[in-house]
Structure 1
Amino acid sequence: MSTLAGLLAGAGLEPGLAGQADLSGADPALPSSFRIGEAAQASIAALGLAAASLHAARGGAMQRVAVAMDDAAAEFHSERYLQIGDTPPADPWDAIAGAYPTRDGVVRLHTNFPHHRDGILKLLGCANDRAAVAAALLRRDAIAFETEATAAGLCVSAMRSFAEWDAHPQAQHLATTPLVAIERIGDAPARPLPATASRPLEGLRVLDLTRVIAGPVAARGLAAHGAEVLHITGPHLPSIPTLVVDTGRGKRCAMLDLRDAGDAARLDALAAGADAFVQSYRAGSLAAKGFSAEALAARHPGIVVGELCAYGWGGPWAKKRGFDSLVQTSTGFNVAEAEAAGVAAPKVMPCQPLDHASGYLLALGVVAAWHRRAVEGGSWRVRVTLARTGLWLRGLGRIDGFGAVPHAPELVVEDGPFGLVRHLPHSARMSLTPAMWPRPAEPLGASLPAWA
């Protein structure tokens, strides 16, 4: 079975849909020893085919989906192609983020959010200075510091090889879980799909409570095929400006402070009109405010809840915070890429493929759950994990890939609230309903918390 057919089958869709795809190109699409191009092409095509199939189930004609591997691989680091005005975006990385040697290994710090940075500095007892951080970490052991930081709710990973990761209890737990977990979590009558529309997901509403890359990419992918996406964030929550612009296409963005009972009630009222509620907050965060998947399904039968996390919902790391760069480090990719390139220092992959692939896989799962809801009813939960996506990427095999030539795709130009913005088009080329984002990205809080 092809990679694409396997993704469709894993989501409960007909694997034969893969025959409607026109896939071109071959790895290496990016300078990596992993098949990132294949992962990008397959995950983006799977979402396109799921949307096309849903459109056909609504009475539209079935269509073909073409995805060129170079375009898909470029979309896996879409944030790097973004131009606001005449300049590329600023480097989003904090000054002390990155990999550091310790007394017995290497750790990677993620400090892009101020509270994460300040927590690391407090733990190390040093100044906000890269040299001071480096000196402090040379007095620490890698695993011990990772454990201490994890217990403090901070974002640190010790570097492991694949063999070391595979022996870890969290890896052994993830090996027993599906890539895209789709679970019925409540009863509800079958909900017929909206009548035929000009776009596959038109008329379906998505609440997007996600940040950074993976979750926002999922919601952006759904918007590309016509879903109405309302992004909700809090006025007190940090963000990364470049990513707000890159992943905000096709969405309206509103502010609600869930610490306020009135705003929590407003979110619940929005959920009553939503077809999907997608979130990527740390485990238990939204549940404590009454927005667990089970609570949402009880109050709003028929809703599809999409959830995304770094390391999974079971096992010893169920509550460990993480980002793509950290998961690459802890699960063996930095060591493997360094070995393949013949270098001693930790080597990152050329993009953040665990984030982007997980985003498209989560969107695939949401559309697959809408298929099921239309036929058999029910409320559904879809779960995707960055580390489990990494296991899938490993399973695609290795190549001699460091000679790949960067792709130079044509950019789309739009004029909106951020001025003149140039960005990548969506790489899934639909034969009948072109994927697009009619709404340009807008600042956080620019819209009211209401459906259009």
Structure 2
Amino acid sequence: MTDLLTSIQAALGLPHTPIPFTAAGALPSAFSVTDLACASIGAAGQAVGELLNQQTGRLPTLEVDRRLASFWFSSSIRPVGWNVPPLWDPVAGDYAAKDGWIRLHTNAPHHRAAAESVLGACADRAAMASKVAQWAKSDLEQVVVDAGGCAAEMRTWEQWQAHPQGRAVNAEPLIQFGHHGSHNGTLWQGSVAQPLAGIKVLDLTRVLAGPVASRFLAGLGADVLRIDPPTWNEPGVVPEMTLGKRCARLDLHEKTDRALFNSLLKDADIVLHGYRADALERLGYGVTERQKLAPGMIDVCLNAYGWNGPWQNRRGFDSLVQMSSGIADAGMQWKHTDKPTPLPVQALDHATGYLMAASAIKLLTERLSSGQGGSARLSLARTAKLLIEHGRGSEELLRVEDEHDQGMLVEQTPWGPAHRLHVPLRITGTPVQWTLAASELGSHRAQWW
């Protein structure tokens, strides 16, 4: 735990201060998933503390609950009388190829269509399995990716270290910071109770990592506006990830919507995006264009496989990175089974999300002091390296049957009432809390409050 926290603090430029982690137990895993949860959440809290110390002269105390941190890395919401839609498409998952295992990620309709353009239409997993079995895993991975889909063959950590992309991402820092431009409004509008009040966050992220970051920022008082394309949906995670945000839709291929997006970007303090490295460039919103529109902006970006190497523009998700980087293989060995064994939660997503939030808060703290904008780059694959290199999981397992002992908050959502777990992070004088319940994508107008 100490080594993980120290590594994250060093990457963020935070003091190497111990943070108390209360409660006991850990998620069952080949790796220290609960320690990663506590360390990443704790570091995000420490970044808040450094901001408050700069602005008020008082450094708050912090505490992270191990059990609640573990639960939040899975799901924080408990529906009452309704169900969250399934997280996975029916044919998404791991399949045995001729020479090993491969994972197909088909949650988005266009990603499933890409896989089926290669393999043929598949009504169910059995049909998909019979077709995958005819392929060599490396060949199928490449052909699906070339078709615009998402796939990853299972590699060992040693194979990943020897792979050109593994070498590239493992040579990158956990967080790559940069600075640019200047910002006129450098006065802090927040308070101890809401440190990020008055901060506008433009959230262009999907699924988990980026939305975890923006959810945390919203819980500290930021005005978070999430923008999605007209047809995008992710029903399995919307109730979990839209907490505290307003969600709008814009078509950046359409002139009127682009003009509106430009005005939102100009006024944003923080922009979070998880597009592939070249995607915003192709839309006309590359780094240079973004800095012209908003010179003092804080620009925090995420991708799956890192920012250098042959895969820097490859589509990817947590589950695919676990396959590529050796995590699923190590889990298989740990569990003594013959199938890929991923982490018990999508820990790369969640941890990277809190690291994104911590990076944004650190850059904001610097901007309040210097007036200078900044950027941070993170990747799921680099977070995977952090986890793998910090060793095995705990033998003292978490008791999950009594999670309700941790307390719940009642939330009225568009789908019905729900309970929301108390947050795992305690910052003295600064409650992490949300004024907006989770909402449907596209349920708000694309404008700042």
Fold agreement, TM-score > 0.5? yes
Shift of 1:258: 0.9
Correspondence 1:225-264 to 2 at 5 A: 225-237=220-232, 239-264=233-258
Aligned equivalent of 2:202: 207
Q: Does 1:218 align with 2:218?
A: no
- How much does 1:190 deviate? 7.0
For 2:291 and 2:215, locate their aligned partners in 1 and report how far apart those are by CA, in whole Å.
Answer: 23
- Does the Cα contact within 8 Å between 2:184 and 2:371 map onto a contact in 1? yes
Cα deviation for residue 403 of structure 1 reads 4.7
Q: Match for residue 362 of structure 1?
A: 356
**What is the match of residue 54 of structure 2?**
57
SS of 2:117's equivalent in the other structure is: helix
Q: Which of 116, 121, 124 is residue 121 of structure 1 equivalent to?
A: 116
Task: Give yes or no for contact 1:335–1:346 (8 Å, CA) kept in 2.
Answer: yes
| Secondary structure of the structure 2 residue equivalent to 1:278 | strand
Deviation at 1:134, TM superposition (A): 0.9
CA contact (8 A) 1:223 1:229 kept: yes
- Note the C-alpha offset of 1:60: 6.3
- Distance in 2 between the 1:327 and 1:145 partners? 16
Structure 2 residue aligned with 1:433 = 430
Q: Which moved more, 1:115-124 or 1:4-13?
A: 4-13
Q: 1:329-340 to 2 correspondence within 5 Å?
A: 329-340=323-334
* Structure 1 residues 400 and 424: alpha-carbon distance in aligned structure 2, compared to 1, 3 A threshold: closer
Q: Indicate yes or no: 2:4 matched with 1:6.
A: no
Distance 2:129 2:49 in 1: 51
1:40 equivalent among 37, 41, 54:
37
Deviation at 1:88, TM superposition (A): 4.1
> CA contact under 8 A between 2:88 and 2:236: conserved in structure 1?
no
2:134 to 126, 139, 142: 139
Cα deviation digits, residues 331-374 of structure 1 (max 9, x gap): 11111011111111111211000010011111111111112222
Identity percentage of aligned residues: 36
How many angstroms apart in 2 are the aligned matches of 1:60 and 1:419? Answer: 43
1:245-267: CA deviations, max 9, x gaps? 11111111111111111111111
**8 A contact 1:173–1:314 mirrored in 2:** yes
Aligned length: 444
Matching residue of 1:23:
21
> How far apart in 1 are the matches of 2:236 and 2:132?
30
Cα distance change, pair 136–416 in 1 and its aligned pair in 2 (3 A)? closer
Distance in 2, matches of 1:367 and 1:250, equals 17
Contact 1:310/1:321 (CA < 8 Å) preserved in 2?
yes
Structure 2 vs 1, CA of residues 171 and 121 (structure 1 numbering), >3 Å: closer, same or farther? Answer: same
Determine if the alignment matches structure 1 residue 67 to structure 2 residue 68: no
SS of residue in 2 equivalent to 1:286: helix
Query: In the alignment, is the contact (CA less than 8 A) between 2:115 and 2:147 conserved in 1?
Result: no
1:98-129 per-position Cα deviation (integer Å, ceiling 9, x unaligned): 11111111100111111111111110124333
- Aligned counterpart, 1:293: 287
TM-score, normalised by the number of residues in structure 2? 0.94
Name the CA distance, whole Å, in 1 between partners of 2:420 and 2:285.
34
User: Which residue in 2 is equivalent to 1:150?
Assistant: 145
CA deviation after TM superposition for structure 1 residue 402, in Å: 8.4
Q: Distance in 2 between matches of 1:88 and 1:372?
A: 43
Could you tell me which amino acid in structure 2 is paired with residue 24 of structure 1? Answer: T
Q: CA RMSD in A?
A: 1.8
- Which residue of structure 2 lines up, in the alignment, with residue 194 of structure 1? 188
d(CA) in 2 for partners of 1:175 and 1:88?
40
**d(CA) in 2 for partners of 1:131, 1:417:** 36
The list of structure 1 runs, each at least 4 consecutive aligned residues, that deviate by more than 6 angstroms after superposition, is none
Aligned-partner Cα distance in 1 for 2:7–2:130:
47
1:287-366 alignment to 2 at 5 Å? 287-366=281-360
Distance 1:331 1:210 in 2: 23
- By how many angstroms is 1:441 displaced? 1.2
Q: Go from structure 1 to structure 2 and tell me whether the alpha carbon gap of 1:125 and 1:418 turns closer, same or farther (over 3 Å shift).
A: closer
Contact 1:205 1:227 in 2 (8 A): yes
Which residue in 2 is equivalent to 1:169? 164
Give 1:227 deviation, angstroms.
1.2
Which consecutive residues of structure 1, in runs of 5 or more, have no partner in the other structure?
none
> Which residue does the alignment assign to 2:448?
451
Q: Do 1:153 and 1:320's aligned partners in 2 also have CA atoms closer than 8 Å?
A: no
| TM-score (norm. length: structure 1) | 0.94
1:391–1:192 CA distance, 2 compared to 1 (3 A): same
Contact 1:297 1:379 in 2 (8 A): no
CA shift at 1:240, angstroms? Answer: 1.7
Q: CA contact under 8 A between 2:84 and 2:236: conserved in structure 1?
A: yes
Post-superposition offset of 1:82: 2.3
Q: Deviations over 1:274-295 (max 9, x none)?
A: 1111111223222222222321
- Alignment check: 8 A CA contact 1:310 1:320 kept: yes
Describe the SS at the equivalent of 2:307. Answer: coil
Is contact 1:22-1:64 (8 Å) kept? Answer: no
2:279 partner SS: coil
How many Å separate the matches in 1 of 2:208 and 2:190?
A: 31
State whether structure 2 residue 404 is matched by structure 1 residue 410. Answer: no
Distance in 1, Cα, partners of 2:130 & 2:205:
35
Letter in 1 for 2:70: A
SS at match of 1:241: coil
Amino acid at match of 1:247: M
- Aligned partner of 2:418 in structure 1 is 421
**Distance (whole Å) between structure 2 residues aligned to residue 402 and residue 145 of structure 1:** 39
